[in-house]
Amino acid sequence: MEYDGIVLESWSTWTAYGILHDPELRNMALEFIKQLGNALHSVNSVRNRKQHLQLVYVIGPPHSEKFQPHDFGPVDLQSLSDAVDGFSLMTYDFSGPHNPGPNAPLKWISFTLQLLLGSPGIGTRSLARKIFLGINFYGNDFVLSEGGGAITGREYLNLLQKHKPALQWEKNSGEHFFFFSDENQVKHAVFYPSLISISMRLEEAKLWGTGIAIWEIGQGLDYFFDLL
């Protein structure tokens, strides 16, 4: 297909199957990623003969300061850094239908980067430049009695047009949201990115020296591109 490489997402599946809880299997999983990266690096791109094929690996945020066997931590990052060209860090989906709230609180993003990299500075730059900080271009329409789910830009605009809600700024998370009641008088809370919330996350990426990974471009509003 003349692609530049592959993006592999396997860590969450390995966690679900218990592979990462077994030290021997965990080491084999890491070795698989290394061998895959080295194999891709041994092949040149069809479109650019001076560029080898690349491997981007998807990682989830650690759950706490006390790393569990299934968490992807700083030791794993260091171990795979030569074989992997980039790490797509899923710093979104902080909340869900069972715990409605912001999609990606800014303090949580900073905390996640600190767990993986330490403190921002010259010493972390070589690893930080390989991390693609995840930024969501989708939002969530939560039913406060429990339920709801993801929405795209078009659905968000439809809700604004239909309900004409008052946008509110959640200072702690750095996100905009609004409430509305549907035709059944069920209350909803909607969290969706705005120019200022995206701008703040881009500044966080600059502070740490990381790249960004957008999930996903087609789900956002057109003027989000003005920031990129």
Contact 40, 63 (CB under 8 A): no
pLDDT computed for residue 67 by the predictor: 87
User: How many angstroms separate the Cα of 195 from the Cα of each of 35, 137, 166?
Assistant: 40, 11, 17
The arithmetic mean of pLDDT across residues 7-13, rounded, is 97
Which residues on adjacent β-strands are paired with residue 169?
176
Alpha-carbon distance values, 137 to 105, 116, 128 (Å) = 14, 24, 22
- Per-residue pLDDT band for 123 (boundaries 50, 70, 90) equals low
Q: How many CB atoms lie within 10 A of CB 194?
A: 17
Q: What is the pLDDT of residue 120?
A: 77
Taking 70 as the threshold, does the pLDDT of residue 89 lie above it? yes
The larger pLDDT score, comparing residue 50 to residue 157, is at 157
Q: pLDDT above 70 covers what percent of the chain?
A: 99
Mean predicted confidence (pLDDT) in 143-148: 91
Pairing verdict, β 168-170 and 175-181 = antiparallel
The chain-wide mean pLDDT, for the chain, equals 94
- Cα–Cα distance list, 184 to 107, 145, 181, 191 (Å): 35, 12, 8, 21
| pLDDT over threshold 80, residue 42 | yes
- Report yes or no: 8 and 34 within 8 Å, Cβ to Cβ: no
| pTM listed for this prediction | 0.93
Going from the C-alpha of 207 to that of each of 102, 203, 214, the distances in angstroms are 22, 6, 18
> Is it the case that residue 113 has pLDDT exceeding 70?
yes
Predicted pLDDT of residue 56: 98
